[in-house]
Amino acid sequence: MTKLPITIIGLGGVGSILAERLCRFLNYSSDLTADILLVDGDTYEQKNYERQEFTRMGNKADIKTTELQMKFSELRFESYDAFINETNIIEAIREGDIVFLCVDNHKTRMIISNYCKNLQNVTLISGGNEFTDGNVQIYVRKEGKDLTPDLCAYHPEIANPDDKLPEEMSCEELSNSDPQLYFTNLGVATLMCWSFYNVVVKEQYERSEVYFDILSMTTDAKIRIVK
């Protein structure tokens, strides 16, 4: 039985869906199990009803940890009530981790991608969306060598983000977030599960970025060259 060290960062529209599906797969797998760290500094509240899967109000990481532990007894869970920044990232990501990044800002993506570049072994699966489309990027690093490009390599908008970390935003900025479609969050979560299956279970990562578009009913996976 292989025990996977997994960290899920961000438990909103994408992360809360992803966590349930991933844990169901792992809990009933015959050869895989996991220690799972759930990370989010945000609070689940009434405005999240339409897209996010929680049974009560409170810190998202704490609630989801309790919920998942009750459902999936073969797995071990921990929660971390924090937004990730350059100081506390060391608490969340360690050597050899499989990291699912489900946040809503490029600055966090940039910090985490750059941090992972300094690890010897890490798998980073990052998803994001707009209203009806989205993408997932896979960054795999083994024995100190990039097997796929990091999140910034083909995305200058992540390398030089024009947004802020959640902790840098005012209450007004936080409450004025753009509307999102539940199905688009679901699409990102699904493609992140596909990515996990390809990379971790099948060890194939030739296609390290995939886009989807609900309106044109299409997905397209890209082969990216490590620069």
Helix (H, G, I), strand (E, B) or coil at 222: strand
Sequential DSSP letters for 47-68: GGTTT---SSSEEHHHHHHHHH
- Min dist CB 2 to another protein, Å, is 28
Side-chain-side CA neighbours of 28 within 13 Å: the count stands at: 6
What Rg value do the Cα atoms of the chain yield, rounded? Answer: 16
- Min dist CB 107 to another protein, Å, is 10
- Which of 68/128 has CB closer to another protein? 128
Helix (H, G, I), strand (E, B) or coil at 29: coil
State the Cα–Cα distance between residues 128 and 76, nearest whole angstrom.
27
- Which of 69/132 has CB closer to another protein? 132
- φ/ψ of residue 125, rounded to 5: -115, 115
- Min dist CB 129 to another protein, Å, is 4
- Which of 12/23 has CB closer to another protein? 12
Contacts with another protein, residue ranges (CB under 8 A): 10, 12-15, 42, 102-106, 109, 126-130, 133-135, 137, 151, 154-158, 163, 177-178, 180, 185, 188, 211-213, 216, 218-220, 222-225
- Min dist CB 106 to another protein, Å, is 6
- Min dist CB 4 to another protein, Å, is 22
- Which of 50/74 has CB closer to another protein? 50
- Which of 76/210 has CB closer to another protein? 210
Sequential DSSP letters for 151-175: TTTT-HHHHS--S--GGGS-HHHHH
